Structures are given as structure tokens and as C-alpha cells.
């Protein structure tokens, strides 16, 4: 009997497994593919995901294998300087192939004790009042208290639950792959720059060892979107769009993606939940997909662990849907808008020119950028201080950085007064008496104290002991006293 079975061993599933293991939850990850996938759909991590890795003490692993690119305004591939006023200690995009991100997160989950079984496809599930029975393709039946579907846009778990997945089907498709190119590298750069002046969905860039990552608009949406394109499909579309096929040959992998936008009507059905692409799909504009899934897992992990541990306050697990469903809906909207702005039609091109001029205003640039890097998210915790519901950026304290205190995935009371107490919740919440260090010119913290949830969002601010205890009970359950 497992506490939680996770169907799907991608970045969402592995992040969730690691978060659950921080709290001692017995986790099994079942993944359909026998070997890690070779297709590299995501090329990087945005600010909020970088912060998450920092909060858990594993950012160095990603920095060692990635490349930091200065953050700039890039909504709908409109290049602008970085907006002023971004409240983060990580103002960059971390370029890192998804294959490496997947491996690092799998290693993290395994280190913490998650059991991972590859080559095991989930084909059925039944649930009752006490748990969930998962059926695998090899006939194995496994039992757990909860099950989470992190099994992608064509989620088997979502289908078995019968959860509707409304939205818009794909109207445009892009071919994506990695291959060698015989054309002179300087000529490739010249042609790509010329084509991208008008075709924003086109790209052909080197990724090392003579390999190029190629993206080119397809002629139409394929009838069988699960079938990969051929090398000849790429050559034909490259000639149509760029006037040359660049002599592409020897592909590593070939794939396709569309601009469909869909979102599950609900993220929970009894003891079964959905996360990542199983809960939402959208165009890749802005590179938000992997990041959105990792952030789903970061929100869900501590809540599900509290439920499994029998210490969750009433309704805590349901806040996963109420908080994350609107976030994904907003991402669907901004990716739809970006795809429209990248169209070659006269109307969208006119709107694109207008948006580009508007992004010269710092507030507009910052507003759009923060939507992509996910630092503007504010969960609705009710009325209160402007920090309430927001993720807390890293700040330097007298004794070190705030994020260094969040490694264990527990709650955190940062107390600048020294007069408060969280003694009844000491098994779930760390009480740190310290003040923000402004010696290096940094900004102070204009609240006497604040309570952070395990996902780094501010659950309470103030200096009133009674108000603090209400917030502790709301998010962490009853006092042990």
C-alpha cells in the first residue's frame, strides 16, 4: 500500500514526488516509457521555477548544466530590454534542455526515497472511500490512498475519470526536431534573421556538435497528430518558408505541436488529482508549459502530504484547484494572445506593432513579462497586506538568505519582533527570529512578521498573536498543544 501513486514521470510528476518525500509520504511513480524521452520540447526555466529550485536547495545542479540569459521583455517574441522593478534575485532565464531538467528532477526524487518504475503504463483505476486501485498494462494492480495524474495532454487518468477537457482544437501546427544541416553556418544565420522578420514561428539554431534545433510552420494540422513528421516533411516546409532546406539530414528526433488550448473542468475527483499537462495544454509561446507544471506540483505537494499525514485543515486539498485553475486559465489566455500577435495576417501584425510600442512603457513591459515568468501570481487569501497571497522573493536576513531557510518544505514564521510564538505548530512550522539586512542597500521588510506556507506564499502578516494563530490553524491544522 502506497500513500500516493503518481502516473507520469515527467518534470511535474518528479517534482511532486520529491515534494511529497520531503514529508515522508510513501510515493510510487509509474512511467509508461521504459527510457527517458529524447524529445526536447522545453529549453529553459523561468524566474519562478528558478526560485523554486533555490527554495529547495537544488538550484546549483541546474546552474551547473544550464546557461543564464539576461531577462528581457519577450512577450510574443517582441524583444525589449528587461523591465525595471522585477522583485527577484534571479533576473534571468536559465537555458537548459528539458532532458536535463527531467533527469535532475528524477535524481532528486530518487535521492529522497521515491520509488520509480519505468515501462509501466497505467491503464485503469478504481477508487473507494479508502483509496485508489491502479491497474497497469502488465496486469499488476497497485493500491494507494491517493493517485495523481501527471501523464500529459493525452492523460489516461483524466480520460478514465471522465473529466471534461474543454477548449479550442489546434488550428495551426509547427514541426519541431533536431538534425544536422549541410548549409554554411553564416548563411544559415543570415537566412534565419531574414525569415524571422515576418515568420515568428520559424527557427533554426545550433545546439552543439553540428546539430540544429529546427522549428517551421506546418502546412496544415495533421489528421493523426500522434504520428511524427518525416524528414521530407521538414525539407518541404523549409523550402516553402525559407527558400532552402539548409541541407538538413540525420535527424535525432522529429515531432510536431499545435496551438490547441484546453483545461480540465476540475483538478480533483475524489482521491484522484490532475497536474501539469494532464490538467491544461496551451501553445508553447513564452515557454511556460514545463514551468506551469512544476509550479502545480509545488503547490500541491505539501497540501497532499498534509492530507496523507492526517494533519490537513478542512478544505486544504481543495485549495489546489481554487488556486491553480485560475493561474492556468490566465496562461491559456496569454498564450492565445501571443499566438495571435505572431500571425502573418495584416490585422494581427498591426496589433503587434501597437503592442511593441506599448511595451516601451516600463509598466506595460513589466506587466507582460511578469505573467510569463510567473512572479505576479497572487492567490486570493482575502483582504490584507499587499504581500498576502504572493510568493515571497528571496531577501537577505542578518543570518543568511530567506530561501536557505525553506529547504525542508515546512512553514516558516519570520518574526522581526521576537514576541510571537508558533510553539503549537513546531512540528510543521519553523519560527525564525531575525530581521532583514539592509546594509547592502537592499529594501527592508515593512511588516513586523510574516508567515510563509511551504510553497513560499505569504499566508499572514502582522504582529498580533491571535491573528497569527488563526492563520496557522487555517493552513497547518490544529495546534499540537
Q: pLDDT per residue over 200-240, tens digit each?
A: 889 999 988 889 999 999 988 887 777 889 999 999 999 99
Q: Check residue 441 and give its pLDDT.
A: 45
Q: Say yes or no: 304 and 445 in one domain.
A: no
Closest CA to 40 of 150, 177, 154, 151: 177
Q: Say yes or no: 212 and 229 in one domain.
A: yes
Q: Which three cell numbers stand for residue 421?
A: 510564538
> How many whole angstroms separate alpha carbon 52 and alpha carbon 455?
8
Q: For the domain that residue 444 is a member of, what is the CATH number?
A: 3.40.30.120
Residues 6+ apart with CB under 8 A from 399: 434
- Provide the residue range defining the domain that includes 190: 173-258
Residues 6+ apart with CB under 8 A from 302: 19, 22, 23, 409, 453, 454, 455
Q: Check residue 359 and give its pLDDT.
A: 96
116-167 pLDDT tens trace: 999 999 999 999 999 999 999 999 999 999 999 999 999 999 999 999 999 9
Q: Which three cell numbers stand for residue 292?
A: 506551469
Q: Check residue 429 and give its pLDDT.
A: 98
Q: Say yes or no: 216 and 282 in one domain.
A: no
Query: Residue 442 above 80 pLDDT?
Result: no
Segment 300-320 mean pLDDT: 97
Q: Say yes or no: 299 and 253 in one domain.
A: no
Cell 548563411, located at residue: 187
Tell me, yes or no, whether 304 lies in a domain.
yes
Q: Say yes or no: 22 and 103 in one domain.
A: yes
> How many whole angstroms separate alpha carbon 230 and alpha carbon 218?
12
Q: Check residue 443 and give its pLDDT.
A: 56
366-399 pLDDT tens trace: 999 999 999 999 999 998 999 999 999 999 998 8
Tell me, yes or no, whether 383 lies in a domain.
no
Q: Check residue 444 and give its pLDDT.
A: 64
Q: Which three cell numbers stand for residue 238?
A: 523549409
Instruction: Quickly list DSSP for 232-290.
Output: HHHHHHHHHHHS--TTEEEEEEEEEEE--EEE-S-SEETTEEE-GGGTEE---TTS-HH
CA distances to 237, 284, 308 from 241, rounded to whole Å, are: 6, 20, 54
Segment 172-199 mean pLDDT: 93
Q: How many CB atoms lie within 10 A of CB 85?
A: 10
- How many structural domains are present in the chain? 3
441 three-class SS = coil
Segment 347-353 mean pLDDT: 94
Q: Say yes or no: 185 and 151 in one domain.
A: no
Q: CA torsion sign, 389 to 395 to 397 to 400?
A: positive
Tell me, yes or no, whether 345 lies in a domain.
yes
Q: 40 falls in which pLDDT band (50, 70, 90)? A: confident
Q: Which three cell numbers stand for residue 20?
A: 511529497
Q: 19 falls in which pLDDT band (50, 70, 90)? A: very high
Tell me, yes or no, whether 317 lies in a domain.
yes
Q: Say yes or no: 352 and 414 in one domain.
A: no
**Count of residues making up the chain:** 481
Cα angle vertex 214, ends 209, 218, to 5°? Answer: 160
Closest CA to 475 of 323, 321, 308, 312: 312
Give the range among 45-49, 304-308, 400-404, 434-438 with minimum mean pLDDT: 434-438
Q: How many CB atoms lie within 10 A of CB 310?
A: 7
- Phi/psi for 180 (5° steps) reads -90, 160
Q: Say yes or no: 38 and 20 in one domain.
A: yes
Q: Check residue 438 and give its pLDDT.
A: 60
Q: Say yes or no: 147 and 273 in one domain.
A: yes
DSSP percent split of the chain into helix, strand, coil, nearest 5: 35, 25, 40
Segment 345-366 mean pLDDT: 95
Q: Check residue 439 and give its pLDDT.
A: 56
Q: Which three cell numbers stand for residue 455?
A: 510553497
Q: 436 falls in which pLDDT band (50, 70, 90)? A: confident
Looking at 373, 407, 439, which one is the last position of a domain?
A: 373
Angle between helices 319-341 and 362-373 (to 10 degrees): 120
Residues 6+ apart with CB under 8 A from 193: none
Contact between 411 and 468 under an 8 Å Cβ cutoff? The reply is: no
Query: Residue 303 above 70 pLDDT?
Result: yes
Query: Residue 6's beta-bridge partner residues?
Result: 29, 148
Tell me, yes or no, whether 406 lies in a domain.
yes
Q: Say yes or no: 349 and 413 in one domain.
A: no
Q: Check residue 374 and give its pLDDT.
A: 95
Tell me, yes or no, whether 48 lies in a domain.
yes
Q: Which three cell numbers stand for residue 23?
A: 514529508
Q: Say yes or no: 419 and 311 in one domain.
A: no
Is residue 325 exposed (0-12), middle (13-18) or buried (19+ Cβ within 10 Å)? middle
CA distances to 79, 318, 371 from 200, rounded to whole Å, are: 12, 40, 20
> How many whole angstroms separate alpha carbon 245 and alpha carbon 265?
43
CA distances to 77, 312, 351 from 345, rounded to whole Å, are: 16, 52, 10
First to last CA, the chain: 31
Q: Say yes or no: 240 and 287 in one domain.
A: no
Looking at 197, 227, 258, which one is the last position of a domain?
A: 258
Residues 6+ apart with CB under 8 A from 30: 5, 6, 7, 8, 9, 117, 120, 121, 122, 134, 136, 142
Residues 6+ apart with CB under 8 A from 309: 23, 24, 25
Q: For the domain that residue 183 is a member of, what is the CATH number?
A: 3.30.70.2450
- Mean pLDDT for the chain overall: 94
Looking at 227, 243, 258, which one is the last position of a domain?
A: 258
Angle between helices 11-21 and 98-111 (to 10 degrees): 20
Tell me, yes or no, whether 381 lies in a domain.
no
Q: For the domain that residue 39 is a member of, what is the CATH number?
A: 3.50.50.60
Tell me, yes or no, whether 391 lies in a domain.
no
Q: 248 falls in which pLDDT band (50, 70, 90)? A: very high
Amino acid at each position: 500500500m502506497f500513500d500516493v501513486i503518481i502516473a507520469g514521470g515527467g518534470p511535474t510528476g518528479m517534482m511532486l514526488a520529491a515534494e511529497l518525500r520531503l514529508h515522508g509520504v510513501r510515493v510510487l511513480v509509474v512511467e509508461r516509457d521504459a527510457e527517458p524521452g529524447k524529445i526536447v520540447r522545453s529549453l529553459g526555466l523561468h524566474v519562478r521555477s528558478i526560485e523554486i529550485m533555490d527554495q529547495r536547495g537544488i538550484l546549483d545542479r541546474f546552474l551547473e548544466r544550464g546557461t543564464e540569459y539576461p531577462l528581457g521583455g519577450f512577450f510574443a517574441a517582441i524583444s525589449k530590454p528587461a523591465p525595471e522593478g522585477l522583485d527577484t534575485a534571479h533576473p534571468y532565464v536559465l537555458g537548459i534542455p528539458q532532458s536535463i531538467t527531467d533527469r535532475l528532477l528524477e535524481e532528486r526524487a530518487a535521492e529522497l526515497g521515491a520509488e520509480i518504475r519505468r515501462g509501466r503504463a497505467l491503464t485503469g483505476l478504481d477508487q473507494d472511500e479508502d483509496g485508489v486501485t491502479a491497474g497497469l498494462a502488465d496486469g499488476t494492480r497497485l493500491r494507494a490512498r491517493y493517485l495523481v495524474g501527471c501523464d500529459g495532454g493525452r492523460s489516461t487518468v483524466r480520460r478514465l475519470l471522465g473529466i471534461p477537457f474543454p477548449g479550442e482544437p489546434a488550428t495551426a501546427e509547427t514541426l519541431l526536431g533536431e538534425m544536422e544541416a549541410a548549409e554554411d553556418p553564416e548563411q544559415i544565420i543570415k537566412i534565419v534573421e531574414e525569415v524571422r522578420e515576418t515568420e515568428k514561428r520559424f527557427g533554426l539554431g545550433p545546439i552543439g556538435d553540428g546539430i540544429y534545433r529546427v522549428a517551421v510552420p506546418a502546412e496544415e494540422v495533421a489528421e493523426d497528430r500522434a504520428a511524427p513528421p518525416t524528414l521530407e516533411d521538414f525539407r518541404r516546409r523549409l523550402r516553402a518558408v525559407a527558400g532552402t532546406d539548409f541541407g538538413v539530414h540525420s535527424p535525432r528526433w522529429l515531432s510536431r505541436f499545435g496551438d490547441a488550448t484546453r483545461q480540465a473542468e476540475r483538478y480533483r475527483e475524489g482521491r484522484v488529482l490532475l497536474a501539469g499537462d494532464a490538467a491544461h495544454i496551451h501553445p508553447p509561446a513564452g515557454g511556460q508549459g514545463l514551468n506551469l507544471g512544476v509550479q502545480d506540483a509545488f503547490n500541491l505537494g505539501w497540501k497532499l502530504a498534509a492530507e496523507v499525514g492526517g494533519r490537513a485543515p478542512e478544505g486544504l486539498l481543495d485549495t489546489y484547484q481554487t488556486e491553480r485553475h485560475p493561474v492556468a486559465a490566465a496562461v491559456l489566455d496569454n498564450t492565445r494572445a501571443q499566438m495571435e500577435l505572431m500571425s502573418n495576417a495584416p490585422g494581427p501584425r498591426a496589433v503587434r506593432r501597437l503592442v511593441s510600442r506599448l511595451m516601451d512603457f516600463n509598466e506595460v513591459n513589466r506587466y507582460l513579462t511578469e505573467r510569463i515568468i510567473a512572479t505576479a501570481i497572487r492567490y486570493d487569501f482575502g483582504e490584507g497586506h499587499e504581500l498576502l497571497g504572493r510568493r515571497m522573493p528571496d531577501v537577505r536576513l542578518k543570518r543568511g538568505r530567506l530561501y536557505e531557510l525553506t529547504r525542508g518544505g515546512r512553514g516558516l514564521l519570520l518574526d522581526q519582533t521576537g514576541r510571537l510564538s508558533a510553539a503549537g505548530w513546531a512540528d510543521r512550522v519553523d519560527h525564525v527570529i531575525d530581521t532583514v539586512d539592509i546594509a547592502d542597500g537592499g529594501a527592508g521588510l515593512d511588516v513586523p512578521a510574516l508567515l510563509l506556507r511551504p510553497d513560499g506564499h505569504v499566508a499572514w502578516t502582522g504582529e498580533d498573536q491571535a491573528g497569527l494563530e488563526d492563520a496557522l490553524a487555517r493552513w497547518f491544522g490544529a495546534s499540537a498543544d
